[in-house]
A = this chain, B = another copy of it.
Amino acid sequence: MTTQQERHTALPLDLAPHTVAELGRQAVDLIVRQVAELPDEPASDYRDAGRLATLLRRPPAGEPGDFGTLIETFRQAAGQGVNTAGPGYLAYFPAGGLVSSALAELLAQVANRYTGVAQTAPALVAMEESVLTWMAGLFGLPSGAGGLITTGASAATLSAVVAARHDRLGPAFGDGTAYVTEHTHYSLAKAAQIAGLPAERIRTVPTTADLRMDVGEAARMIAEDRATGLRPFLLAGTAGSTSTGAVDPLADLVRLAREQGLWFHVDAAYGGGFQLTRRGRERLAGIEGADSITFDPHKSLFLPYGTGVLLAREPAVLRAAHAGGGRYLQDIHEVDGLPDYGHLGVELTREFRGLRLWLPLHLHGVRAFEEALDEKLDLAGVVHRELSADPRLEVPWQPDLSVVPFRLRGSDDANRRFLDRINATRRVYLSSTTLGGAFYLRLCVLSFRTRADHVEEALRVIRASR
């Protein structure tokens, strides 16, 4: 009893500075180990998942626990499943998670400032705004463009769809139609569903042989819908599809959207970061004509999960679609032209997400990101060239960015087993997709931790698993 009592006294909710120092030291020791162990950790491991999942389903107790024991339990639990932070994670969109960004989040959460309105923390909102303004410039959006930092592309896309619906259709929107392709990320259809748009109003435009939206078909479908009394309002282009990384013909889609008065949204959740590189800018040409852009810094800016961005040509439209108010907010006034982020998107109360972007960009410098992304483009080129040289494989598409789909010349089942053999080595982890009705493996190089030697190892594993 005395021990419990003492431990309780030693761990009040309001930790004394010396306790913060001690727990902080233990936490830093753990992240140093996390980082040091990454290169040797398996890319996937489920051997202890069942036991841990059962253990971890216990509710918290009344009495305090031991910090060291608890964080060690977390370390073990994190080790089960897919090692998304490691260099061998080449599935979906790799996200290593910059440690500098995680340290920024620690500082931001201890300060715990409210950034739903500028008045509460004007200098922090200016910090966040500086990142957004820089990004808007990177994408070539005009002065005055802005947006907000969200938890990811889904939340960003939802606000883009709501803004487009509000701006182009008004309150009665059931006759509005939107245009996507089968390679558009399903977060767009999900956003439309949440926003109350009937599923049958989302039109799937055919793609050309290189899996990009067919602009002529889009124009034809828009005209056809208009002729039947529907109201086309949203055209969505993709700058780096999930299946193949292909970039839609953005410049042509901008022209079509302008001619037809449609809102042009670009999903650059994956591809956006490549805009820092010369090759990326060439491939994303036209994106500067977008009305809104979704971009995930937790993908191609290497940040931890939970970091998305919505950019809008005219942030006032976001505000018109999302703003509201309560009387308990009557003390809030606009400050220095800084935005009230709570009025631009879904969240009102929001944590200060700016530092997790601002700090890594200023600490490592923009060039470090540009060089890393150029390296990923090079590495994807190596993967494409090496796999293409293998007569037992089909590698039909030259990568626009850093995704390479490939398959064994054989049945879908043979390819499923091929993928299982690769992943069973636990040195790399790949995912799959369906293209033209066939099962494809896909390899995506995007983690800052994935360097030439890991790509060479992945190629060895793939060859050995054929």
Contacts and interface: CB of A to CB of B under 8 A. Distances in A.
Interface residues of A, number: 159
A97 to B, nearest CB: 3
A328 B431 contact: yes
The interface centre, meaning the residue of A112, A131, A324, A355 with most chain B CB atoms within 10 A of its CB, is A112
A223 interface: no
B32 A17 contact: yes
A71 interface: yes
Nearest to A44: B120
B11 A349 contact: no
Given A36-B17, A151-B151, A330-B434, A322 B190 contact: yes
Contacts of A347: 151-152, 154-155
Interface string A351-392: 110010011011111111100100000000000000000000
A338 interface: yes
Contacts of A152: 347-350
Given A11-B368, A50-B336, A366-B61, A109 B97 contact: yes
Contacts of A189: 324
Nearest to A102: B109
Contacts of A304: 109-110, 112, 351
A346 B78 contact: no
Interface string A145-162: 000000111110010001
A30 interface: yes
A346 B432 contact: no
24 contacts: A11-B365, A13-B98, A13-B302, A14-B449, A15-B100, A17-B36, A21-B28, A21-B32, A46-B122, A58-B130, A59-B133, A65-B363, A74-B107, A82-B121, A85-B111, A92-B328, A102-B112, A105-B109, A154-B346, A154-B347, A155-B155, A195-B196, A296-B349, A328-B431
A433 interface: yes
Contact of A85 (B99, B100, B112): B112
A141 to B, nearest CB: 14
Given A35-B20, A123-B77, A305 B61 contact: no
A242 B328 CA distance: 7
Nearest to A369: B13
A62 B138 CA distance: 13
Given A8-B367, A448-B14, A114 B84 contact: yes
Given A121-B82, A366-B61, A194 B129 contact: no
A24 B165 contact: no
A326 interface: yes
A243 B434 contact: no
